[in-house]
Amino acid sequence: MKAPPLTVALKAYGAGIILAEPALAGLLALRARRGKEDPARLPERKGLAGRLRPKGRLCWMHGASIGEALSLVGLVDGMIARGFSVLVTTGTRSAAELIGGRLPPQAFHQYVPLDASRWVARFLDHWRPDLALVAESEIWPNTVMALHARGIPLLVVNGRMSERSFKGWSRSPRTAEALLSRIAVCLTQTKDDAERFARLGAPRVSVTGNLKYDSAVPVVDHSHLAHLSSIVGERPVWVAASTHPGEDAMVGQVHLALRSALPNLLTILVPRHPHRGPDIARDIAATGLRTARRSQGGWPHGAVDLYVADTLGELGLFYRLSPLVFLGGSLVPHGGQNPIEPTRLAAAVLHGPHVENFTQVYGALDAAGGALPVADEQDLAVAVGDLLRDPNRLRAIAASGQTALRPFEGALDRTLAVIDPFIAQMKLTAMASAS
């Protein structure tokens, strides 16, 4: 089916980005000075490759940040098994640092170029991907148009379209249709996501489920875990994971509220953004709690009340260490954080009311008794205190959570089943060209 013509808005966007290239270059330089870009790899953000293209077929996968990138790991393995090398791109330093250590030898990482037509063309000229997979909702107009013009199939995988994004796109329906019609297929997490993509003009939409249900749990150094466990000993411990500004102080107040009932309590606070560690430790220490920071070599020994784990990529370690996890971004209006990993690692999960980014999974967990909602700081303190004094209930909640996740598994196989016909078509085209 022929795609609709480009709209005036899309043409104006392309022209405007060309004019804005000097400003974009300046923005990248500013971000590098502030530590938000890797100075040594800044050329990659302008489409300049940091290495040679491998021989043979290449699949390009893009996940903007940590969550999206990690959801692609199973697909990376699947495409390697199908004879592809895999280029994984991200847009943030934290995602690059984390995903780089999880890729197998046949896969490698680069930073994604900004959506400037010259930079995108430079990127595609070098890498010449045979197939492009983009996670969730990363729809950049110049990139979509360039891939379509070159005949490179683009698939949205683990697709997500929030009601807010849908309303935004709906204000420019012809532009949305012109762009989405240039995507080979949109594979979505839920029926609601699929309906929104279809209503905006995506001609080929399929519900495959959420890849994060199938992603492998984070690896851990078991000797390191054993050492940390020996330091913690028999202390009651809970983890406040992926906290956002406003929640750190609440976590500190929860510890203070429980200190008399649980005098040996250990609270481990893992901020969503590790660079906030110094500020968090300073503010918590001002309340009278004894703190230590992991990034500074501190350990959660007996003289530490609240341990600030301000490092990246170690949540798997702390989820295994603690039977109880509160997931942040939920007591403040951020939308919540993904509860799949702690649940699969046998932790009982607590969360606040703001979990609209993960409505499906929290709904299933709450309904099964595999996670418990808390309304506010006081409610969190009561729940933490009650559960840490009741190990049997903790185990029951964790088991219910694992059972609740099982019906959602299988997205990886369903996604690969949709990709396979594209691979078959590539093989047929190659055979026809060779004959």
8 Å CB contact between 102 and 71: no
8 Å CB contact between 89 and 64: no
Q: For residue 372, what is the enclosing H or E element?
A: strand 371-373
Say how far apart CA 212 and CA 72 lie, in whole Å. 8
Q: Which residue has the tokens 């003009």?
A: 201
Residues 6+ apart with CB under 8 A from 340: 212, 213, 215, 361, 405
Q: Which amino acid is at 262?
A: L
Eight-state DSSP code of residue 296: G
- Check 37, 68, 177, 314 and give the catalytic one: 68
Eight-state DSSP code of residue 63: -
Q: Which of 72, 59, 64, 57 is nearest to 103 (CA)?
A: 72
Q: Is 421 exposed, middle or buried (0-12, 13-18, 19+ CB in 10 A)?
A: exposed
Say how far apart CA 62 and CA 69 lie, in whole Å. 7
Is 377 part of the annotated catalytic residue set?
Answer: no
User: What are residue 330's phi and psi, to 5 degrees?
Assistant: -125, -20
User: What are residue 256's phi and psi, to 5 degrees?
Assistant: -60, -40
Say how far apart CA 326 and CA 314 lie, in whole Å. 16
Say how far apart CA 256 and CA 265 lie, in whole Å. 10
8 Å CB contact between 350 and 374: yes
Residues with catalytic function? 68
